[in-house]
Amino acid sequence: MKKTVLLAILTILCINYSSSAQLFKKKNKSKKEQAAKPSVKKGGIKKYNEVITKDAKTDEGLFHVHKIADDYFYEIPFSTLGKDMLWVSRISQIPNGLGGGYVNAGSKTNEQVVHWKRFQDKILIKVKSYNNVADSTKAISNSVQVNNYEPTLFAFDIKAFNTDSTAAVINVTDFFEQDILAISGLPSSLRKRYKVRKLDKARSFINSAKSFPENIEVKQDFTYEAAEPPSQASTGSISLQMNQSMILLPEKPMQPRLYDPRVGFFTVSQYDFGSDELKADRKTYIRRWRLEPKDSEAYARGELVEPVKPIVYYLDPGTPENLQKYIKQGIEDWQKPFETAGFKNAIIAKDAPTPEEDPDFSPEDIRYSVVRYVASTTRNAVGPSVSDPRSGEIIESDIIWYHNHLRSYRNRYLLETGAANPSARTLNTPDEEIGEMMRMVIAHEVGHALGFPHNMAASYSYPVESYRDGAFTQKNGIAASIMDYARYNYIAQPGDENIRFIRQMGPYDHYAVNWGYRRILDADSPEAERSTLNKWILEKDGDAKYKFGRQSSRFDPQSQAECIGDDPIAASDYGLKNLKYVANNLVEWTSGQTNNYEDLEELYGELLSVYSRYVGHVANNIGGVYENIKTPEQEGYIYTHLDKKSQQESMSWLHKNIFETPKWLVDKDILQNIDHAGHFEKVRRLQTRYLNSILSFDRIGRLIDAETINNEYYSALQMMQELSKGIWGEVDKKSNVDLYRRNLQRSYIERMAYLMTNEASKSRYSRPGFESTLFYNVETSDVRPLVRGELNRLSRKIRTAKNSGVNTITKYHYEDILARIDDLLEPNK
């Protein structure tokens, strides 16, 4: 019995043990199975065919681009990770009025270098800078890297690997449908102006994505909610289309060419921390296209050789038919300067292909450089470009021509040349002459796109009298470079024969193209080119036709916008003589022909601007400093103050031509037909503009500074005394003061108050070539004592003059002036 019970107990224990063991094994087996199964998070890496399904529409190129329903996928080869790519964001379509006229279809909104990088199961877009560099073989390159950490523009989850695991697939839909400021068409300033609230995702989508061998082009449609949109306000929206271009930069960058400020080029700069200099060495390279001869041996022999890859510009399909030939001529005018550099057919103009010829052609595609014709009322043209920051190689550019710009050229043609040029005395300028103007504007803008900034000294290289010589002007035009702001010959006088009135290419353009683009075949580094480049400059040393003048007209009378000839006083004398002739005939040439006053009003307003420019050219002689950039091996100083006599003559000219009332501008046949009032204010504004310009901290500071070099120069005290004597001439004569002069004299007191109480600007322009303003401590300078002294001297003279029998309004005027001076000099009295 006991044995039976014991056996039963043992049997039960064995069964329980077996059950427990089996349960334990099942649990362990489950855990092992879980451990063996890969950890896959929701939406993680899947098989290729589960992501890129049979429904995918694939575009092969730099990356495979797949479209599945409304989603877009990039298949990124691992071989492209880490490679530099240029990302350019550009507006493709734009609402009317956005940006105030200077933003348009084709406008670039950002340009940045990116590269793709894998981090664990993600692909990152990193934004790369070449501001700070170092040779990767040097230890300091590690420091450069960790002290210039690259921002991540976006992080993508890897959705799959391709079948041979050589590429990762990511979904880019969310990236391109988000409002990412770095690639947006609406910068913060415009968002603030139009009170943009947010991107409306329901009305925003990817329009297309196309892949080519070296670039990918994506078009996005964006609609933003905005309280104050620039047009169609009732919609409360701003819609625009963006184009995102990403192009693979050359594996081997173009050999850079070192910049020399004696020849004008746009530039890129880097700080080289691996330099042997005892500092981070700033290296600046010129921006230029990569032109390489097809036949190097023939090129070395001095033969003209075609480039491997010419510069090609396509015409916008929307270009008016009657203007197309002039645009092409303006582009190809640069062929001759490139021949000077040894290249033939280096730059070519083409019609845009039709959709049948190339269905993928798009003006925004970074493979194409296009002259964009913009249906806009803006009056301008621009020539921007994008370049490789590693070398300065220009990758692409778009010339922008705004439709209404020809109107400006017609108006100025009439105003500046009408006296000596009978064909300009009309509102219907001959087509060939309008076409020639457009051709030269396009050539100017193409020059910018080739790397050339304005050369404001090019028009100073010709003597004033040569502009009246027909043979000279036909051969040389009106400036030594198309890159000057010298549009018309306003010096030629009635009766002068065979005059060229419109600008053209000049000798500097050939010189600059040769200097920047000629290949130096035996130089294998930028440094190895230095001696040859310097030799080319020295060969032209002293010849004004080859001088480069920065756009710094605040101080250099040689480098002024819209100025022609080597003597601003003589040139402006001729210009004003012609302008008075035009003013006398303006009614006949406008409203007398059209039977309305619209053109008369427009042209009279522009006539005032032309007059103002002529005055400004002379005003810049006051406190003028010549800038002649040179190296120590060249003779002379870089900076030289204008001589005293020339400045005094300029002051006398200003008194005669602007501070003494220019009554020829007050023509009742014009004024009483274009506005009911405000006539005296037009004159006051003009006079005050140049009064304030002369009495500026900057100009007075330069005159004070000149005394440190030579006390025989024109001094600030002499300038202020001569200015005061002319403006307050009625005080010395004890004569009555008319309306215009009373306005001018009160403006003088306002400006003196400004000098007495304000400070000079605290920051320079950040734009290269504009660093012209002088900064100094006004409180400790001579400025305040000069102002106080001149006001005290004036006060004493006015107290006598107001009791000398002048009329009532003059007396009231003098009493007001005395009160203003007292309030300024003794505010607490």
Tens of pLDDT, residues 45-84:
999 999 999 999 999 999 999 999 999 999 999 999 999 9
**Which residues lie across from 347 on neighbouring strands?**
311
Whole-number Å distance between alpha carbons of 121 and 41 = 11
pLDDT at residue 13 greater than cutoff 80:
no
Q: Which helix (H) or strand (E) holds 330?
A: helix 324-332
Please report the pLDDT score of residue 552 as a whole number: 65
SS3 of 789, please? helix
DSSP state for residue 488 in the 8-state scheme = B
- For the record, the structure tokens of 13 come out as 């224990």
Whole-number Å distance between alpha carbons of 344 and 476 = 23
DSSP state for residue 258 in the 8-state scheme = B
Whole-number Å distance between alpha carbons of 699 and 719 = 10
pLDDT at residue 400 greater than cutoff 90:
no
Give me the residue label for tokens 């039963």. Answer: 8
Counting residues of the chain whose pLDDT is more than 90, the rounded percentage is: 78
Tens of pLDDT, residues 561-609:
999 999 999 999 999 999 999 999 999 999 999 999 999 999 999 999 9
Please report the pLDDT score of residue 553 as a whole number: 58
Whole-number Å distance between alpha carbons of 4 and 13 = 14
- Cβ-based neighbour number of residue 755 at 10 Å: 22
Please report the pLDDT score of residue 518 as a whole number: 98
Cβ-contact 153, 180 below 8 angstroms: yes
Whole-number Å distance between alpha carbons of 254 and 726 = 60
Tens of pLDDT, residues 488-503:
999 999 999 999 999 9
Instruction: Identify the CA nearest to 412 among candidates 610, 572, 612, 588.
Output: 610
Cβ-contact 131, 119 below 8 angstroms: no
Whole-number Å distance between alpha carbons of 745 and 682 = 16
Q: What is the mean pLDDT of residues 404-426?
A: 94
- For the record, the structure tokens of 333 come out as 């005018």
State which amino acid sits at residue 169. Answer: V
Whole-number Å distance between alpha carbons of 233 and 372 = 28
Interaxial angle between packed helices 783-801 and 808-825, expressed in degrees from 0 to 180 and rounded to the nearest 10: 150
Please report the pLDDT score of residue 364 as a whole number: 82
Least confident stretch, 254-263, 313-322, 599-608, 722-731: 313-322
Please report the pLDDT score of residue 374 as a whole number: 79
Please report the pLDDT score of residue 37 as a whole number: 37
DSSP state for residue 306 in the 8-state scheme = -
Whole-number Å distance between alpha carbons of 822 and 753 = 11
Cβ-contact 320, 308 below 8 angstroms: no
Q: Is 49 exposed, middle or buried (0-12, 13-18, 19+ CB in 10 A)?
A: exposed
Please report the pLDDT score of residue 119 as a whole number: 95
User: In the structure, what pLDDT confidence band is assigned to residue 137 with cuts at 50, 70 and 90?
Assistant: confident
How would you classify the pairing of strands 311-315 and 369-374? parallel
Cβ-contact 158, 122 below 8 angstroms: yes
Whole-number Å distance between alpha carbons of 163 and 458 = 63
Task: Report the C-alpha dihedral over residues 57, 60, 61, 63, rounded to 10 degrees.
Answer: 60
- For the record, the structure tokens of 564 come out as 């022609």
Whole-number Å distance between alpha carbons of 350 and 674 = 45
Tell me the CA distances in angstroms from 144 to 135, 150, 495, one per residue in order. 10, 11, 67
Whole-number Å distance between alpha carbons of 222 and 321 = 32
Tell me the CA distances in angstroms from 232 to 201, 225, 411, one per residue in order. 20, 12, 32
Please report the pLDDT score of residue 771 as a whole number: 54
Please report the pLDDT score of residue 768 as a whole number: 47
Whole-number Å distance between alpha carbons of 429 and 408 = 12
| Secondary structure (H, E, C), 344-362 | CCCEEEEECCCCCCCCCCC
Q: From the centroid of its chain, how far is CA 809?
A: 50
Total count of residues recorded for the chain: 829
**Which residues lie across from 353 on neighbouring strands?**
none
Instruction: Identify the CA nearest to 444 among candidates 458, 461, 462, 429.
Output: 458
pLDDT at residue 376 greater than cutoff 80:
no
Q: What is the mean pLDDT of residues 553-563?
A: 89
Counting residues of the chain whose pLDDT is more than 70, the rounded percentage is: 93
Cβ-contact 662, 572 below 8 angstroms: no
Per-residue burial over 240-249, b if 16 or more Cβ lie within 10 Å, else e, is: bbbbbbbbeb
DSSP 608-677: HHHHHHHHHHHHTTTT-EEE----TTSSS-SEEEPPHHHHHHHHHHHIIIIIS--GGG--HHHHHHH-SS
Q: What is the mean pLDDT of the chain?
A: 90
Whole-number Å distance between alpha carbons of 229 and 238 = 6
Indicate if the alpha-carbon torsion angle 499, 503, 505, 511 is positive or negative: positive
Whole-number Å distance between alpha carbons of 646 and 622 = 9
pLDDT at residue 39 greater than cutoff 70:
no
Whole-number Å distance between alpha carbons of 438 and 402 = 11
Domain limits of the chain? 56-248, 268-409
Tens of pLDDT, residues 507-520:
999 999 999 999 99
Tens of pLDDT, residues 463-487:
999 999 999 999 999 999 999 999 9
Note the pTM of the prediction, 2 decimals.
0.89
Instruction: Kindly give, in sequence order, each residue whose CB lies less than 8 Å from that of residue 300, ignoring residues fewer than 6 positions away.
Output: 521
DSSP 667-712: -HHHHHHH-SS-HHHHHHHHHHHHHHHHT-HHHHHHHHHHHHH-TT
Whole-number Å distance between alpha carbons of 794 and 731 = 9
- Strand order across the beta sheet in which 132-133 lies: 132-133, 267-272, 281-286
Whole-number Å distance between alpha carbons of 472 and 505 = 14
Tens of pLDDT, residues 676-724:
888 899 999 999 999 999 999 999 999 999 998 888 899 999 999 999 9
- Cβ-based neighbour number of residue 645 at 10 Å: 9
Instruction: Kindly give, in sequence order, each residue whose CB lies less than 8 Å from that of residue 103, ignoring residues fewer than 6 positions away.
Output: 91, 94
How would you classify the pairing of strands 347-351 and 311-315? parallel
- Cβ-based neighbour number of residue 352 at 10 Å: 19
